[in-house]
Amino acid sequence: ITYFNKFYHMNLLLDCYQKAGKIAAEVREGARKKCHIGSTLFQICESIESEIRKRGAAPAFPVNVSLNDIAAHYTAEPDDNIAVNDTDVLKIDIGVHVQGYIADTAVTVCYDPKYDTLVRSAEVALSEAIRVAKANMKASDIGRVIETTISKQGFRPIQNLSGHSLEQYTIHAGRSIPNIWTIGSSFNLAPNQAYAIEPFVTTKDGQGVVHEGKIRNIFGITSRKPTKDKEVDEFLADVWNRFKTLPFALRWLLDKYEEKKARQYIEILIKRRNVHAYPILVEGNRKIVAQAEHTFIPSDSFIDIITL
């Protein structure tokens, strides 16, 4: 019976991952093909998140729409009026979950040919990394492939951003797959465990490191400890019931709360350390960044790239 339960659980888990991956891939390719010039970041986020929900899944985190030197963690504010122009490099990072099992994928879109090789570099590095990845391989060896591929094309990897393991309702589940070759301790990829590989690439004159910016508009619950403020505790319980430990955006709360009130509750919960606010991540020399990402599950005999 124990073996049967384990087998049933594994099949359910893989089925959820594959459904999430198929939806994430469809939505990503739709975003890749669409012309976003003139669209606001709010419109892009809302449109992509709507596409995920239409397909019977849910966003695993607010769609990241990071422009130019912002590498990651920007999502649209309510009625965000920042519009994409024809010189922008836009990274669209999409997470989809089915019963908490997450597929994480990203694409960079731009309309200025001078950045084509930068965007291509991230895509090629991802392809090479996925090509060599297998169960029991050292994560540092994947990092070496990513760094070598990017360097050969005349660009720099972002060394303090990495891929990651995924668990149910947990996007960053404790294991990191580096984008550079790291000397020293590493870990081996476990069979039947989900991982995301995501090369971030900048120009040769970039610092190759990201720093935290001032904007923080993605949030996640880190503690459910009561605050002893009835309204705030009810808000916390509601957010937990809706998103668990997954990141959320203020935009997602305005179906039930006034914007001013929701901001106030979030600020209180951040101060009490119930909620973490994720800062945007900006390239150290303010140089352009491109990104590409897939989620995959290695087994003993092959790897299943669920977001292909």
> CA-CA distances (angstroms) from residue 54 to 109, 276, 307?
23, 29, 18
Annotation says 104 is catalytic: yes
Report the 10 Å Cβ neighbour count for 297.
23
**Max CA separation in the chain (angstroms):** 60
Helix axes 139-152, 116-132, angle to 10 degrees: 150
Report the 10 Å Cβ neighbour count for 137.
15
User: Which residues make beta-bridge pairs with 212?
Assistant: 281
> CA-CA distances (angstroms) from residue 14 to 6, 43, 101, 103, 170?
12, 32, 9, 11, 16
Residue 224 CA to residue 218 CA, distance in Å, equals 18
Of residues 49, 51, 147, 198, which has the active-site annotation?
198
Integer-rounded Cα radius of gyration of the chain:
19
Annotation says 293 is catalytic: yes
Strands 58-59 and 89-98: antiparallel
pLDDT in tens, the chain (308 residues): 565 566 667 788 899 999 999 999 999 999 999 999 999 999 999 999 999 999 999 999 999 999 999 999 999 999 899 999 999 999 999 999 999 999 999 999 999 999 999 999 999 999 999 999 999 999 999 999 999 999 999 999 999 999 999 999 999 988 999 999 988 778 999 999 999 999 999 999 999 999 999 999 999 999 999 999 999 999 999 999 999 999 999 999 999 999 999 999 999 999 999 999 999 999 999 999 999 999 999 988 889 999 99
Of residues 51, 104, 128, 283, which has the active-site annotation?
104
Annotation says 36 is catalytic: no
Of residues 80, 164, 283, 294, which has the active-site annotation?
164
Of residues 46, 172, 259, 304, which has the active-site annotation?
172
The answer to whether 179 and 146 have CB atoms below 8 angstroms apart is: yes
Q: 76: helix, coil or strand?
A: coil
Annotation says 97 is catalytic: no
Residue 247 CA to residue 81 CA, distance in Å, equals 22
Of residues 128, 147, 283, 293, which has the active-site annotation?
293
Residue 40 backbone zone (phi > 0: left; psi -120 to 50: alpha; other: beta) = beta
> CA-CA distances (angstroms) from residue 75 to 153, 220, 281?
30, 13, 12
The answer to whether 114 and 101 have CB atoms below 8 angstroms apart is: no
CB-based burial label for 6 (10 Å; 0-12, 13-18, 19+):
exposed
Tokens of 305: 């790239």
Residue 96 CA to residue 200 CA, distance in Å, equals 20
Of residues 51, 88, 93, 283, which has the active-site annotation?
93
Annotation says 255 is catalytic: no
The answer to whether 297 and 132 have CB atoms below 8 angstroms apart is: no
Q: 243: helix, coil or strand?
A: helix
Q: What is the DSSP letter of 62?
A: P
User: Which residues make beta-bridge pairs with 178?
Assistant: 162
Give the model's pLDDT for residue 76.
98
